[in-house]
Amino acid sequence: AMDLGAVTKQSALHAKPSGLVLQYGTAGFRTKAQHLDHVMFRMGLLAVLRSKQTRSTIGVMVTASHNPEEDNGVKLVDPLGEMLAPSWEEHATRLANAEDQDLPGVLESISVEEAVPLRQDAIVVIGRDTRPSSEKLSQSVRDGVAALGGQVHDLGLLTTPQLHYVVCCQNTGGRYGKATTEGYYQKLSRAFLELAKQASCGGDEHRTIKVDCANGVGALKLRELEPHLAQALSLQLVNDGTKGKLNHLCGADFVKSHQQPPQGMEMKSSERCCSFDGDADRIVYYYCDAGGRFHLIDGDKIATLIGTFLQELLLEIGESLNLGVVQTAYANGSSTRYLEEVMKVPVYCAKTGVKHLHHKAQEFDIGVYFEANGHGTVLFSTSVETKIKQLAEELEDEKRKAAKILGNMIDLFNQAAGDAISDMLVVEAILALKGWTVQQWDALYTDLPNRQLKVKVADRRVISTTDAETRAVTPPGLQEAIDGLVQKYRLSRAFVRPSGTEDVVRVYAEADSQDSADHLAHEVSLAVF
């Protein structure tokens, strides 16, 4: 049985402010850091139960990603490095909201409901971002794990995808890689160096990239990675956390939503630059052209580059594997059109939130998934991985070369989670192999002008959606109103959805000109009231 006495005693040191209600959403729990101490303690408890139930190591990440520095949050990582299973998200919410005296009862009921083998050992790995509040909050997670007798591995400062990687390695007997950050750097750098060699064909190509680290943990981890890259890629870090504030006027989310360069980034014409977010699970690229104009290359264009490249490799190898690209409703219409019509790659639309995209991508031999905001990766089925590595030995000449490249690509992706570091290396490798400049990449297609707005409403839950959030079901009449507005513009599309992370309704509109997109978004936001 559980030592609920110990839990009660410890829990008194992590008391819940009475009346506070939080929900485990798409990003776990996220709010002002000062409200989270009890949540952290309780997620430590929950991680122990989940670990016992799955007889696996479970991860707990303390981060609020791209949110302001004063915020914090927590997310659990399931055995294969995936997002927490939906039924456990509900347990998480129930546990976080229980008043102190009800805590033992809720723990009991979760463990009965999930048939948790209480005598089983539990192991929990913890990671945290660079927020000032993160160290203390991760200590509270440790207290929670200890209160239920679980074993803790605190890995300290980590990017979110590194924690996913470690958890995945730990539970797959090292097949995926060594379960340490060192193992992570070794796996990625080995694959990258192989690809760099294949790209230069004996030549000595030297690449440089400027990285805006959002003043977050990505900077620390890139510094650890760099020596492994043996000069095949030099990194110039901007917003590395030594001066500026986390996510303030910088980072992937800022660049994507403001469509402008981060503070502190000096761009020479045509230089490749990229931005990570605060926990380094998102990346966007950009550059300035000779006329000084800023060009954003978002998650859609990264997915398009990757999808196109993988498709070309498969053609070269002569294998017809089923490759698909998974996007969300936010994907720019031009990217979808390019993939479907030019590249003949099937494209699917999933609901916003990594777990939905990840889940859909698992249905393919090779599933590419990306959100427009820059979160994404590629999943390869185990049989594809085996097959490609076998072909790299068996085939000859050009086919063999292509199979080798694909084999290294498989290793370069972090299949456990979208990963800014891994995605950056993937993009750099592909551009080198193709001999492409950033402009050539950007020229794949031209983004349709678009606008995003947020609308404050009394209760955002009155809006419900279907067809991967592209159509509103309630309130009655809203979808008809949107359809009517969309008809007034060319190449237009619009949708509304309640945010999963903020108390707002989000509006997205796309049309043939920026002016039209702006108008359409505005009109749709009026229809939401």
- What are the binding residues for substrate? 371-373, 497-501, 506
From first CA to last CA, the distance across the chain in angstroms is 52
Is 65 assigned a catalytic role? yes
Q: Which does 69 bind (CB under 5 to 8 A by kind): ligand 16G, Zn ion, none?
A: none
Q: Are 103 and 7 in contact (CB under 8 A)?
A: yes
Binds ligand 16G by CB under 6 A, chosen from 228, 501, 518, 522? 501
The amino acid at residue 359 is H
Least distance (Å) between residue 6 CB and ligand 16G: 32
Nearer to Zn ion, 65 or 377 (CB): 65
Q: Is 141 helix (H, G, I), strand (E, B) or coil?
A: helix
Binding residues for Mg(2+): 65, 277, 279, 281
Q: Are 267 and 291 in contact (CB under 8 A)?
A: no
Residue 90 structure tokens: 């509900």
Give the H or E element holding residue 17.
none
Residue 487 structure tokens: 């008809």
- Closest residue to bound Zn ion by CB: 65
352 binds ligand 16G (CB under 6 A): yes
Scan for tokens 């991508």, then name that residue: 361
The neighbouring-strand residues paired with 203 are none
Exposure b/e, 215-240, CB count within 10 A at least 16 = b: bbbbbbbbeebbebbeebbebebbbb
Q: Are 239 and 264 in contact (CB under 8 A)?
A: yes
Question: Under rule CB under 5 A, how many of the chain's residues touch Zn ion?
Answer: 4
Stretch touching Zn ion by CB under 5 A, among 62-70, 181-189, 242-250, 289-297: 62-70
Give, as ranges, the residues between 504 and 523 that touch ligand 16G (CB under 6 A).
Answer: 506
Least distance (Å) between residue 487 CB and ligand 16G: 26
Radius of gyration of the chain (CA): 23
The amino acid at residue 288 is C
CA distance 210 to 266: 9
419 binds Zn ion (CB under 5 A): no
371 binds ligand 16G (CB under 6 A): yes
Q: Which does 140 bind (CB under 5 to 8 A by kind): ligand 16G, Zn ion, none?
A: none
129 binds Zn ion (CB under 5 A): no
Binds ligand 16G by CB under 6 A, chosen from 8, 23, 26, 198? 26
The amino acid at residue 410 is I
Exactly one of 51, 65, 111, 189 is catalytic; which is it?
A: 65
Nearer to Zn ion, 11 or 65 (CB): 65
423 binds Zn ion (CB under 5 A): no
The amino acid at residue 470 is T
Nearer to ligand 16G, 111 or 352 (CB): 352
The CA-based diameter of the chain, rounded to the nearest angstrom, is 70
354 binds ligand 16G (CB under 6 A): yes
Binds Zn ion by CB under 5 A, chosen from 65, 170, 422, 479? 65
CA distance 74 to 211: 26
CA distance 527 to 508: 13
277 binds Zn ion (CB under 5 A): yes
449 binds ligand 16G (CB under 6 A): no
> Contact residues for ligand 16G (CB under 6 A)?
26-27, 352-354, 371, 373, 375, 499-502, 506
Which residues are part of the catalytic machinery?
A: 65
> Contact residues for Zn ion (CB under 5 A)?
65, 277, 279, 281
